[in-house]
Amino acid sequence: MSILKKFRPNKGKTLKIIIVGTGKVGSTLAGKLAEEGCDVTIVDKNREVVDKLAEAYDIMGVVGNGSSYGTLIEAGVESADLIIAVTDSDELNLLCCTLAKKVGDCTAVARVRDPDYSDELDYLRDKLGISIIINPELEAAKEIARILHFPLAISVNSFAKGAAELIKFKIPPNNFLDGMRLSSFQNNSSFNILICIVERGDLVYIPNGTFELRSGDIISFIATPHDSFEFFKRINIETRSVGSAMIIGGGKTSFYLARQLVRTGMDVKIIEINPARCEELSNLLPDDVVIVNGNGTDETLLNQEDITHAGALIPLTGIDEENVLLSLYGMKVAPGIKAITKVNHINFSSVINELELGSVVYPRRMTAETIIKYVRARRNTIGSDIVTLYHLSNDRVEAIEFNVHDELKHTDKPLKDLKLKDNLLIACIYRDGRAFIPGGDDMLMAGDSVTIVTTHKGLSSIEEIFD
């Protein structure tokens, strides 16, 4: 077993990155990319925020309009490798990226959130030359939908084009797994899964065969969706799907989520305080979605709308405190309900984790992960190895899916003969449309994608997993 190691910056190419917009996402990215070893410059009209972030992360700051030619020149766009536009305006982000592409030779990333653009993202990417268009609300809705289809999980992260999933759940009291050594667990041929991470109190482990599981441990395992369901059945944990969802707040995430859930046959109810927004949602969403005009934080209204019989409660207001309290209330009055809480501010995630909120979704973190994956791929001199990247266990563990390229010298050798870094597991191999958990006699082959789980930070190439 092992506890996380201190971060060591990657020694690859230093990328010069301009971030336009210093809101929640922009400030998060500034810190994350500075930690990744990038040369970061932030741009915003708010001098106070620019000065604060520049000092906090030891980065450059420019005060001005990010869509202004003069401001971009001052920020160094002519020599920049990447520009990331994450202001509150979709149109400003698109304009900023388009201008930057004309002035410099940099890659462009834009945040575009408006549902009106959601069906046109491929067109915008192609015509405007933007490499990545990110919609945090849409990605949050997708993650929530994945969790609802596997409601016993705390989180579900997808790998290998959906053929494998990393599922986190808490071992209940007096469960079959309590007191079991992992060596016994893995030798049980009926369990075609691999336990990759164990969280126990404040400690995080990449466990080995001598590790003994306990009730209350939060474990993350990787498996195919079919094997995941079979595993839960065999350890006597119910896997019933959620049939109905109550969403509090009618913002963009709620719209995207309701549209996805109703397509699967789920009963969906949205409670929104703004009458005009209720009217808008009723016109945008199918008739099957029930729209209720009212205050979703009103206990009387929640009871009138039968919260105790809802399969899931999903607070998606713009206020973290409200979302947290609503989830706590829902689990109190309806102990069997599946609560999923959206949290925008990630500074107090350790406190939030202690509140037993069920599943917590961080849209800012998902946006940062998408961009960091791209940055690491750009930094890698061989090519774009990274397929998927997730930060887990309060950023103490990373799960990364790499492509295996022809130049890798470690192919066609049994895994048991390869020297891997400590605190690192090869968790899954995806080959010819099939995902499997490798054994010691399996080999990496060109064309594979391989998922690793590690406490090392900053890996950008598959070569870096070897010692």
CA-wise closest residue to 401 among 377, 419, 417, 375: 377
What was the pLDDT predicted at 71?
95
The closest of 447, 412, 442, 410 to 427, measured between CA atoms, is: 442
The single residue listed with the structure tokens 């008739």 is: 287
The CATH number that domain 16-134 falls under is 3.40.50.720
Q: What pLDDT was estimated at residue 1?
A: 35
Burial call 11-34: b when 16+ CB within 10 Å, e when fewer? ebeebbbbbbbbbbbbbbbbebbb
Residues of the chain whose pLDDT is less than 70?
1-13, 188-189, 239, 346-354, 380-384
Task: Give helix 24-35 / helix 363-379 axis angle, nearest 10°.
Answer: 40
Task: Give the C-alpha distances (Å, rounded to integers) separating 231 from 168, 191, 193, 225, 240.
Answer: 13, 6, 8, 10, 14
CATH code linked to domain 159-234: 3.30.70.1450
Token duo for residue 61: 């700051």
Predicted local confidence at residue 349, as pLDDT: 63
Bridging pattern class, strands 290-293 and 267-272: parallel
Instruction: State the first-to-last Cα distance of the chain, in angstroms, to the nearest integer.
Output: 18
Give me the residue spans of the domains in the chain: 16-134, 140-145+241-361, 159-234
Which has the closest alpha carbon to 32: 51, 13, 15, 49?
Answer: 15
Distance CA 269, CA 288 (A): 9
> What is the C-alpha separation between 171 and 214, in angstroms, rounded?
7
DSSP 380-439: -SS---EEEEEEETTTTEEEEEEE--TT-TTTTSBGGGS-BPTTEEEEEEEETTEEE---
**At 174, is the secondary structure helix, strand, or coil?**
coil
The answer to whether the pTM exceeds 0.75 is yes
Instruction: Report CA 467 to chain centroid distance, whole Å.
Output: 28
Would you state the pLDDT for residue 356?
Answer: 74
CATH of 140-145+241-361, one of 3.40.50.80, 3.40.50.720, 3.40.50.11540, 3.30.70.2860: 3.40.50.720
pLDDT at 82 (0 to 100): 93
Please tell me if the domain spanning 16-134 has the same topology as the one spanning 140-145+241-361.
yes
Please give the Cα distance from 188 to 206 (Å, whole number).
Answer: 20
- pLDDT 10s digits, 392-435: 888 899 999 999 988 888 998 999 999 999 999 999 999 999 99
Burial label, 271 (beta-carbon count in 10 A; 0-12, 13-18, 19+): buried
